[in-house]
Chains A and B, each alone.
Chain A
Amino acid sequence: MRETPLIGPYDSDDVLAWSPRAPRTAGQFMADVYALAESLPDSPSVLNLATNRYEFLVGFAAAIIRRQVTLLPQSRAPHALLGITGDFPGSYALTDGDDSIEGIESFPIRLHESSMSLPAGIPQIPVDQVVAIAFTSGSTGRPMPNRKTWGALTAVAQATGSKLGLKRRDHVSVLATVPHQHMFGLEASVMLPITYGLVMHAGRPLFPADIGSLLAERAGRWILVTTPLHLRACVAEGGTVPDGGLVLSATAPLGRELAWEAERHFHAEVHEIFGFAEAGSIAERRTIDGDHWRPLDDVRLVQERDSWKVQAWYLPDPVSVPDRITVDRDGSFVVHGREADQVNVAGHRVSLGDLNHKLLQIDGVQDGVFFLPEERGDLVTRLTALVVAPGKTSEEIQRLLRAHIDPVFLPRPLICVPSLPRNATGKLPRESVIQIVRQWMEQEHS
């Protein structure tokens, strides 16, 4: 079986991860990985909850060496985590800091002061080893596991870098606002730097002012891995950024006008990645150049009846594209939107069916429905929910929901109603739902 090295071309003293207080060299990284790998409990799988990107990577690499699969939950809501460990018995959690989840054995990631000489110390990993499982929300209320092999993650990183014109050992620092437990975050902010021998920033800036000052911290070229939400915030806030960069956005469609503004703000090309957890990143485009997506090397789109599937050597089976797309003769394609059940809130995809299912499991909730209102030019459009739960207040239901779903999907507003206007087949026409919300808004503001 083919094997590839755990990390790309680094010398022992090359900085692999950057944080102002504690830069880590590639030699220190391998020493951290081996030390942690030796002390990990025996288990087939591990939930890596580290918030620091470097510590996450140490945990991920140590698990790979121990042949443990890293579980990447979509949400940190306690019930969601317990649901996953229930499906993967024996799993434990890797954490940094004092984070611990009740009911899950937790194990802190500790760093040491030693270093190793490279490249002799870099292990080879079989390309067919399953190294991670990313969860997506299915319509059944249970998270759907998507298995990722080492080959899939490295191939996507390699192909993404090649589309962006990266060379191995380029002096580039990668800064990301996206979580590394997300597929795009894992691929672009962790796998891309370690495959190409770049510097990975350990932090995760939130505010525009953070992004500007962190980019200025290190001399040389940079890549900002981010989302339309953060780009909009950066453009609105202004401020200065050093030249010599490239912006990579994903998780939600980026408007062409915002892409223009972001190119001006960052003095940099703004590229977008198209992908989904089931297949990983599959295509790239520079947003201002037009609507067409260019598939990554090794990716092919094939039509099966009325849907499109992604084929690649690293995917065991073709994977359905969850969006409606049209494909040109040259293989490039245009995306027309998500299938009805799937919505995107601030870059997080979720199945409405899944949310409805979780809502209905709450004690006292007789009926209920989540939906995404029309966008109104706000930074984020949140979900709305209509709930039939006699005797309960919307605050009580919100509090109970919080334990089951990611906070980003908590409805605003959650409107309690005496009944839902279901039609004869039990379906809820969107128009009647919107009508109820409109009436409620008028009452609220009168």
Chain B
Amino acid sequence: MDDSQVSSIEPDLAVLIVQTLKLKVDPASVQPEAPLFGEGLGLDSIDALELSLAISQTYGYQLKSSDPDIKAIFSSLRALAHAIEKNRTK
């Protein structure tokens, strides 16, 4: 897999996450491999719902919890960026 392609939307996605959820962190400081939920950024299921709407509106990718990889997709900024790259329609 081409790493430069995988990471290309990471900075934009970090900004989207921080703005959507009004987090008190600098988007540039979000660690690509750090967990988004629980520890790490400390997000919860309501954040996941808000984030799914923002991702759908921005990238045209509708997240589904029935997706067997959903835990992996939400595990980190990098994993989420990768899933969006693979499934985006805009």
Contact = CB atoms under 8 A, between A and B. Distances in A.
Size band of the A side of the interface? 20 to 34
Given A205-B65, A209-B63, A412-B24, A233 B53 contact: yes
Contact of A207 (B24, B44, B63): B63
A413 interface: yes
Contact of A206 (B22, B23, B56, B65): B65
Nearest to A214: B66
Interface in B37-53: 42, 44-46, 48-50, 52-53
A200 to B, nearest CB: 17
A5 B59 CA distance: 51
A207 B50 CA distance: 9
A398 B23 CA distance: 13
**Which 10 residue pairs of A and B lie closest in terms of their CB atoms, listed nearest first?**
A407-B44, A209-B62, A206-B65, A209-B64, A207-B52, A346-B46, A413-B24, A379-B50, A210-B65, A207-B63
Size band of the B side of the interface? 20 to 34
A394 interface: yes
Nearest to A410: B42
Q: A206, A229, A410 — which one has the most chain B CB atoms within 10 A of its CB?
A: A206
Interface string B46-90: 101110110011000011111000000000000000000000000
Contacts, number: 62
A207 B62 contact: yes
A239 B62 contact: yes
A209 B23 CA distance: 25
Contacts of B63: 207, 209
A236 B42 contact: no
A230 B63 CA distance: 14
B49 A394 contact: no
A347 B1 CA distance: 42
Contacts of A378: 22
Given A237-B53, A237-B56, A379-B49, A210 B66 contact: yes
Q: B44, B52, B66 — which one has the most chain A CB atoms within 10 A of its CB?
A: B66
A20 to B, nearest CB: 8
B42 A207 contact: no
B6 to A, nearest CB: 23
A428 to B, nearest CB: 22
Interface in A388-433: 394, 398, 402, 407-408, 410, 412-413
Contacts of B46: 229, 346, 379-380, 408
Nearest to B55: A207
Contacts of A208: 52-53, 62
Contacts of A361: none
B77 to A, nearest CB: 18
